[in-house]
Chains A and B, each alone.
Chain A
Amino acid sequence: MHPAAAREFLSDPARAAWHDQTLWMVRVKRDRMAARVPEWEQLREAASRIKEHTLSRLAEYLEEFSARAEANGVRVHWAADAEEHNRIVHGILAARGVTRMVKSKSMLTEECHLNPYLEARGIEVVDTDLGERIVQFKNEPPSHIVMPAIHLKRAEVGAVFHEHLGTPAGMEDAQELAEAARQHLRGHFLGAQAALTGVNFAIAETGGFVVCTNEGNADMGAHLAPVHIACMGIEKLIPKAEHLGVFLRLLARSATGQPSTVFSSHFLKPRPGRETHLVLVDNGRSRQLARADFRKSLACIRCAACFNTCPVYRRSGGHSYSWLISGPIGSILAPNVDKKAHSDMPFASTLCGSCTAVCPVKIDIHAQLLKWRQEVVAAGGSGRAKPLLMRLTAFVLRRPALYRLGGALMRLAGPLANLLRLDPWTRHRDLPPPPARTFHQSLRDKSKP
């Protein structure tokens, strides 16, 4: 459960403070970069409306996109769920005798648990994004969708590289560590028989797709290996190439505070004599599309600005959430995947609304969190104690006599609770010194003749 995991995360206050401060700096960089674009809020509005429009005609755009992609020579596959996605990818690889594949960042393949599926079938998968490679070595899920290893300190990365890459013990310099990874992964790029990438945007009118990275790992993989497989959720579509102007202006500024990602690669046709496969995956997205209250969550462009701004995420870390996409956006996507298993995620928020205000596509994240809370509770996903407590509270508050009695008892008990510090409130903070009379008592006193 999130509260317990968060408590564990916070038990190392120095590290927790570092995590908070580091991600807050990313938010500050985002602010600085966004402030340089005078029409920022207009861009957000445009992005929001393009996505809403696309979702309202998604079937048509999927048909248009897949037809054009096929006309461009791309082999298009459709996967209803994670299992089918994995089967398709494996099928492509197995038919070509591929045993070594490099993969750039794709949260979709994480969602489908593709790596263990392929590894169990004798295919080596090497994650090539530096952060992804680090967590792959550690056999951990990414703790952040843009900065997968942000939960680790450089000494820990050094230890991981020492174990897996044979770098000298105690190497802690980020430059040296990144160089070691560069050399290590270059070997894998050159030896890979297939490359898998994610997709940031797929353009219906052209059948092309765009992949954005800073490291260049998607391109190193895709342009060297004879087979390129691109996997995308069906919500990644946008209607026109000119819409990329809006999204590419927003994406990197929101994600890392850069004016652009270093590489925005536009794939349209396979290299001559080579293969490009594109796997379109539903895996619950059409179910979310049908939920009017939660549909807008599919507009997400995975910039993670909501992670960086979220005061709860920053102080609890990605691994405190029960799903691999954590943070605010993960907390409105996860219940669609499994309402029971992720019932605590919508509660890991104060509903402060910073996520909604920062979101480049204007997803009403905090409002959806509140709505998911209702759904989760209705499905019995919040245990027994909480509902009982809420019923009791409502019962008392509806009855003036009980309310006054309860209030008086609470005011009496406050000082004692402050001494004992046993309950979740006073464990951390004092209750205020109780006033002698309530506001209404003193009003009544005054109105007496």
Chain B
Amino acid sequence: MPDLAGIVIIAAVGMAGYWLFPDNLALLTRIVAVALLVLSIDLVTGYCGVATLGQAALFGAGAYAAGIACVNGMTEPLTLVLIGAVAGAVAGLLMGSVMLRAHGLAQLVLSIAIVQLFHEAANKASAYTGGSDGLSGLMVSPLFGVFAFDLWGKTAYLFGLSLLVFVFIALKFVVSSPFGILCRGIKEDPIRVRAMGAFVFPVLLKMFAISGAVAGIGGALAAISTQVVGLDSVSFELSANALVMLVLGGLGTLYGALAGTVIFMGFEHMVSAINPFHWMTMVGALLIGVVLAAPSGLSGLLGTISRATTRGKGGRG
């Protein structure tokens, strides 16, 4: 049961973060929210082969839906997460039905155009979203009526971590189901899958909806934990950064998505405190390095190394 071990490790690392960095729980919660976004990109890019630079549109849809619901009196946190997931899934369906009409570069451009359109729409509809000031004043009621969201973010972090573990387990089932295998098949060779009698478009659209729900949960978590929703949650920059995290960790593995997020955001927190432009140079160099040296990301690199060592042992033995 390697998956069970993996899930235990995720929970253990999360709890270690809780005990080791009690002053940085807001950052850790942010990492969890972004990790959900990166997982959602992994579903469409890593498992279906649809490259997207606009996934923050789905993250933002969840964040704004949860935020608006909360301001209007729906303050139960689990309900808010559900609202975020539904809003993300709907936005995912919308985005998928537009993006899947095109291929290759046109598809990438469509994803960028969609996230920019969402950004402008959120900016324009300031009566609902607060525009460029952001949507503030979210008063979330205590979880299960018992655990209030405190100033130090303890409840928010533990809530986020449990959400992440829950979503991760659900996604493990999704990607190893016949549906998940079919998605991988489409990534490898869509024409062959079509020739075998499967419908490509509905399968990909379904994955887009699932991915949207995951991104929406991330957005709702960000809204609940920070109590504001800003325009930056529907930005091209967030989408591009999230894609970079995924590639850093490794496409097509759920563990890679998590590892990439933690490493990227941890470094960002340290380096950008010194000078934000040093951080840009570093990310750039890192990206070039990953493309040249480890095209399948850190998890791919680890896999190559472990395979090489076991093969070496086998040869000698």
B is a partner of A: no
Residue ranges of B at the interface with A (Cβ–Cβ < 8 Å) = none
